[in-house]
């Protein structure tokens, strides 16, 4: 996004800050929204905006794992560090206990709905999460052109991501094209696709329009 580094604009008047999703499901527990897309698709920017407008908790799973890696506080930390240093995908069994702890912490603060930014990246992560923590009500897929995503990726400033260069982008982009297809196929009818190739405001308007049926 041309202004992907910040959150311009004010709260969208079409959204209610209810803190929950509109759904006919009788499933008890918390509401979860999965968000997928290639690196540089605008997941962080748009998810922060959406969470703020709707009263959800925004959890960037990648950033959270980097924070844990830096703090040295995670179980199986050595395995987590090795995988992240190689820019490899984290297997399902590692993040689930960490995500459960984070979600429970925020539930105690009053949050009921969670936007999981950049998760799941693999089908086994999706299956493990939904088995342990609950079904996602919807999966948002941010579809962005590669030639637009690359400069966004290279110009973002994220803690612990200083080594994110074009080589890393190419690796992660190729992985995301394969893994996203598998996860989206697994989730099928719960998927909402949003074109995020445009500027932030235009992409956010498309997101609100596409997801209004579950957000209003």
pLDDT single digits (tens) 46-74:
999 999 998 999 999 888 877 877 776 55
CA distance 173 to 204: 22
Average pLDDT, the chain: 80
The pLDDT of residue 11 is: 44
Question: 5 lies in a domain?
Answer: no
H helix intervals, 17-156: 43-54, 61-71, 77-85, 95-107, 123-132, 146-155
Lowest mean pLDDT among 28-37, 66-75, 188-197: 66-75
Q: How far is CA 72 from CA 58, 68, 206, 215, in A?
A: 23, 6, 39, 37
The pLDDT of residue 25 is: 42
Domain that holds residue 188: 31-215
Question: 57 lies in a domain?
Answer: yes
The pLDDT of residue 119 is: 93
pTM assigned to the model: 0.80
Question: 3 lies in a domain?
Answer: no
What's the number of domains the chain is made of?
A: 1
The pLDDT of residue 155 is: 87
Residue 150 has pLDDT above 70, yes or no: yes
Question: 13 lies in a domain?
Answer: no
Question: 6 lies in a domain?
Answer: no
Looking at residue 79, which CATH number applies to its domain?
A: 3.40.50.300
The pLDDT of residue 164 is: 74
Question: 126 lies in a domain?
Answer: yes
Residue 156 has pLDDT above 80, yes or no: no
Question: 4 lies in a domain?
Answer: no
Question: 134 lies in a domain?
Answer: yes
Q: How far is CA 97 from CA 41, 158, 214, in A?
A: 27, 24, 28
Q: Which residues pair with 32 in a beta bridge?
A: 114
3-state secondary structure of 113: strand
Residue 89 has pLDDT above 90, yes or no: no
Of 116 and 89, the one with more pLDDT? 116
């Amino acid at each position: 996004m041309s202004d992907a580094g910040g959150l311009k604009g004010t709260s969208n008047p079409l959204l209610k800050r209810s803190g929950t999703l509109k759904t006919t499901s009788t499933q008890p527990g918390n509401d979860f929204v999965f968000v997928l897309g290639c690196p540089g698709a605008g997941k962080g920017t748009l998810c922060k905006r959406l969470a703020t407008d709707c009263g959800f908790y925004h959890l960037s799973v990648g950033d959270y794992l980097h924070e844990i890696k830096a703090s040295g506080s995670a179980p199986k930390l050595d395995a987590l560090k090795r995988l992240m240093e190689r820019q490899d995908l984290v297997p399902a069994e590692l993040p689930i206990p960490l995500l459960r702890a984070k979600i429970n912490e925020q539930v105690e603060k009053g949050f009921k709905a969670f936007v999981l930014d950049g998760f799941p990246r693999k089908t086994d992560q999706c299956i493990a999460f939904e088995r342990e923590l609950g079904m996602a009500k919807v999966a948002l897929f941010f579809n962005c052109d590669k030639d637009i995503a690359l400069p966004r990726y290279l110009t973002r400033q994220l803690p612990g991501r200083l080594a994110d260069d074009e080589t890393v982008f190419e690796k992660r982009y190729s992985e995301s094209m394969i893994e996203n297809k598998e996860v989206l196929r697994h989730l099928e009818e719960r998927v909402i696709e949003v074109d995020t190739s445009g500027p932030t405001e235009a992409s956010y308007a498309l997101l609100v329009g596409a997801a209004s049926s579950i957000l209003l």
